Structure 1
């Protein structure tokens, strides 16, 4: 069984997001959809402040796709001022902190490669062995609806299981995926304490962060009404 996760790229999201990279064989950056102006693709929250660190992007038409967005020419200067709000590193310097600091100091060019670098830095530091790629490389038909787009992405990557965050439970139909030969699974709600991951990188050690993410890779049971006839109720399972 090959497990595929598909998600918009977020700028250092909450730790629960990274469970998709920990649990998947292939993680597909969904960059062929519209850029959400007030979403988390280009910003992350700071703990206890109600404020955000926002990647400065160039002005673009409202219907621009994520893959079409570019960082602003003065992004480095503007991001540097925002990053002064981050906590000072505790427990000394680490390779992960150095790489993240380098990323924060050098935002330039297209947005997606920059966000992909940030995902790879974390995945490699934590030993997540998933393949990371982009949906825009598949040249998918623009006519595909949201659910069919995901199914086609999973198919193109040879996937037999699609996993999603708990927030996606209202978006996808178990039977639609089943008829496509794909098992649909949702992660359980994140219960860890690292909801502000960028700050946590500078405050906590890699082992604790990795343990928090990997330990939360459990899946919700399939609702009884969604089970095929003759199948028993399935409880939470971890990555096979």
Structure 2
């Protein structure tokens, strides 16, 4: 059985997002949909109401796809000062923390490769070895509904099981997936400690982060 997960790329998301990555044999970055300007694609939440670190982006038409977005030319100068919002020191004392600090200091180019790099840094450090790929590389047919798009992605990846976050239960019809020969599953709600994951990278050990994701 090949388990496939499909999610928009997020900038250092909450722990439940990484749990989905850990549960999948193939994790598809859904970058072939419209960029949500007030979502988490380019924003990472911090402790405290309404506190974010936001990736500076080049202006783009409102209907631009995530795959078309680019970091602003002055992104490095605008992103790094925001990192002062992170609580406590940011030690570069482990390979994971050094990689994250380097990423925060060098935002440039297209948005999706940058977000994919952030995802791979965490996945590799925590031992999540599923294959990561991009939806935009699949050249999906135009005009698919959201559910049809997911089914087509799963088919193309040879998937027999689709797994999603608990918030997606109202989006998909289990009978439609069953007729397509795909088992539809949802993770239980994430109850771990790290709804704000970026600060946790500098506060917790790799073992603690992994345990929180898999057990929380």
Q: TM-score, normalized by length of structure 2? A: 0.97
Q: Residue 179 of structure 2 corresponds to which residue in structure 1?
A: 179
Shift of 1:90: 7.1
Give the match for residue 160 of structure 2.
Answer: 160
RMSD, aligned α-carbons: 1.2
- Measured after TM superposition, the shift of residue 51 of structure 1 is 1.3
Query: Structure 1 residues 140 and 87 mapped into 2: Cα distance closer, same or farther (>3 Å)?
Result: same
Deviations 1:179-238 (A, max 9, x none): 11000000101010111000111111110000111224xxxxxxxxxxxxxxxxxxxxxx
Equivalent residue for 2:43?
A: 43
Greater helix content: 2
Contact 2:10/2:115 (<8 A) preserved: yes
**Number of aligned positions between the proteins:** 216
The Cα shift of 1:69 comes to 0.2
What corresponds to 2:190 in structure 1? 190
> Is the partner of 1:84 in helix, strand or coil?
helix
Q: 1:42 to 1:92 in 2, by over 3 A?
A: closer
| Structure 2 partner of 1:67 | 67
Matches within 5 A, 1:1-240: 1-89=1-89, 93-216=93-216
User: Is there any run of 5+ residues in structure 1 with no aligned partner, and where?
Assistant: 217-240
TM-superposed CA distance for 1:84, in Å, is 1.0
- Structure 2 residues without counterparts, runs of 5 or longer: none
Q: TM-score, normalised by structure 1?
A: 0.88
Contact kept in structure 1, 2:92 and 2:98, CA below 8 Å: no
- Secondary structure, counterpart of 2:171 in structure 1: coil
Q: CA deviation at 1:49?
A: 4.8
Q: Deviations over 1:83-102 (max 9, x none)?
A: 11113347871111100000
